[in-house]
Amino acid sequence: MAGTERANIRRGLRVSIVMKEDQRTGKLTEGIVEAILTNSPIHTHGIKVRLESGQVGRVKKITAAR
Asked if the model's pLDDT at residue 22 lies above 70, the reply is yes
Q: Is residue 50 part of a domain?
A: yes
**For range 39-63, the mean pLDDT:** 96
1 in a structural domain: no
Return the H-helix or E-strand segment holding 8: none
Is the pLDDT reported for residue 66 higher than 60? Answer: no
Classify residue 55: in a domain, yes or no: yes
pLDDT of 2 > 80? The answer is no
Euclidean distance between CA atoms 18 and 66, whole angstroms: 20
What is the rounded distance in angstroms from the CA atom of residue 9 to the CA atom of residue 46?
A: 10
Residues forming beta bridges with residue 5, ordered by sequence position: 42
21: CATH = 2.30.30
Number of domains observed in the structure of the chain: 1
- Average pLDDT of span 40-53: 96
How much is the pTM? 0.90
Q: Which structural domain range is residue 57 located in?
A: 6-64
Task: Classify residue 52: in a domain, yes or no.
Answer: yes
**pLDDT (average), residues 15-38:** 96
